[in-house]
Amino acid sequence: MPVRRPHFRRLIERVRLGPALSAGFVFPCDSDSLQFALSGAFAGFLAPILIGPEARIRDVAAQAGLDISRIPIADTEDSTTAAADRAAELARAGHVRALVKGALGIDDLLPPAGDTAAGLRTDRRLSHAYFVDLPGRPEGILFADAVLNVAPTLAAKRDILRNTLELASAIGITTPHVAILAAMNAPHESFPSTLDAAALTTMAREGLFPGSVVQGPLTADSALSADSAQINGVSGEVAGRPDVMIAPSLEAASLLLRALTVVTGGFAAGIVLGARVPIITPARTDSMEVRIASCVLAALHAEQPAPTRKSEPPTALSASMTTDSGHVTV
């Protein structure tokens, strides 16, 4: 990880001290996924398990010139559904502590994680959070949700905030300062997002998000700049110094995130939250740097004790896997 990512660098140093994260790569039937698994293992962050049709996976590896002989494979039928179901099964049994999307769509991977029968669902909806490393800022910022929830209701925003606060705790933020973003700095009936922001702030005052300081509605400039907040007549503990920013919609989140990272040369990597295990969903255009950074977040999150995930001891499920050197049962 280049030195220009100082906030991610600190997270990396923490992960290096712990064991490699057991991560299930779901339907890794493309060279990018296999290279990701190998790179994560080489860096010492991941102990990958490939979940999918073994013959096809080995054929892809051979064509790409990748040596996967030391990586266990959990063989499945040659279908994305079979691989996703097996991945959920292995995660439920405690054999993998994170899932990684391979050559399948996010709509194929996430349903088993949100299925009560699969045993990975918690009492919250799934959401996504980025850790954003912006040049010139003293700390990184967690930013949600630019991936999953298109037009979240107030109840959905409550879950998004709870999920993101759990990640904040995992990465070492002891008292998260949360900015609830909206188009105005005060509630206004013409902008429902401002009313949601005010409601979340009230929930925080009533103790729903213990250990955090929540303020909203805040415009992006009031949240990110103390000077802008002062000009806008906004005071409070969060304005100008957020650890967490919650956007009013996926569209707003995506626009702001892209603007911040492109204009400043910033960097963002993220994971899916709300299931019993963190889920990494790399885009085809993500660099290896972004993918490895997502692994770092997942490793820290997986170490975080979270009552809402209601972890159970491993079951007696026999996960049959093979490597080139023999047969493995976990």
> For the chain, which residues make up each domain, given as ranges?
1-122+275-330, 130-270
Phi, psi torsion values for 96, nearest 5 degrees: -130, 145
Average pLDDT on 237-254 reads 97
How crowded is residue 131: how many other Cβ atoms within 10 Å of its Cβ?
A: 24
Q: Report the CATH number of the 1-122+275-330 domain.
A: 3.40.50.10950
Average pLDDT on 166-194 reads 96
The lowest-confidence range among 12-21, 39-48, 148-157, 309-318 is 309-318
Phi, psi torsion values for 255, nearest 5 degrees: -60, -45
| Residue that the structure tokens 């994170």 belong to | 98
Evaluate if residue 134 carries a pLDDT over 60: yes
Dist CA 294 CA 271 (whole Å): 6
Of residues 314 and 183, which shows the higher confidence score? 183
| Amino acid identity, position 144 | A
pLDDT band at 111 (very low <50, low <70, confident <90, very high): confident
Percent of the chain with pLDDT over 90: 83
| Predicted local distance difference test score (pLDDT) of residue 305 | 66
Dist CA 217 CA 195 (whole Å): 8
17-268-97 Cα angle (round to 5): 45
Query: Of 131, 76, 83, nearest to 108 (Cα)?
Result: 83
Evaluate if residue 314 carries a pLDDT over 80: no
Evaluate if residue 281 carries a pLDDT over 50: yes
Average pLDDT on 119-147 reads 93
The pairs formed by 308-313 with CB atoms below 8 angstroms and a separation of 24 or more are 308/122, 308/123, 308/124, 308/162, 308/166, 309/122, 309/275, 309/276, 309/277, 310/122, 310/276, 311/94, 311/276, 312/92, 312/94, 312/119, 313/94
Dist CA 239 CA 228 (whole Å): 9
Average pLDDT on 88-112 reads 93
Spatial contact of 55 and 29, defined as CB atoms under 8 Å apart: no
Helix/strand/coil for 99: strand
Q: What is the pLDDT of residues 26-49, one digit of tens each?
A: 999 999 999 999 999 999 999 999
Average pLDDT over the chain, rounded to whole? 90
Average pLDDT on 219-239 reads 96
| Predicted local distance difference test score (pLDDT) of residue 321 | 47
Dist CA 35 CA 306 (whole Å): 31
Dist CA 227 CA 240 (whole Å): 8
How crowded is residue 88: how many other Cβ atoms within 10 Å of its Cβ?
A: 29
Average pLDDT on 92-115 reads 91
Query: Of 15, 303, 269, nearest to 140 (Cα)?
Result: 269
Dist CA 308 CA 315 (whole Å): 19
pLDDT band at 121 (very low <50, low <70, confident <90, very high): confident
Evaluate if residue 2 carries a pLDDT over 50: no
Q: Which CATH number fits domain 130-270: 3.10.129.10, 3.90.470.20, 3.40.50.2000, 3.40.718.10?
A: 3.40.718.10
| Predicted local distance difference test score (pLDDT) of residue 304 | 78
Average pLDDT on 227-251 reads 96
pLDDT band at 112 (very low <50, low <70, confident <90, very high): confident
Structure tokens of 75? 């063989």
Evaluate if residue 118 carries a pLDDT over 90: no
Structure tokens of 257? 């995130």
Of residues 39 and 311, which shows the higher confidence score? 39
Q: CA separation (Å) from 324 to 58, 125, 152, 155, 274?
A: 10, 39, 46, 48, 35
Evaluate if residue 326 carries a pLDDT over 70: no
Its pTM stands at 0.90
DSSP string over 239-270: TT--SEEE-SSHHHHHHHHHHHHHHHT-EEEE
Evaluate if residue 270 carries a pLDDT over 90: yes
Evaluate if residue 120 carries a pLDDT over 90: no
| Residue that the structure tokens 């045993």 belong to | 119
Average pLDDT on 155-170 reads 97
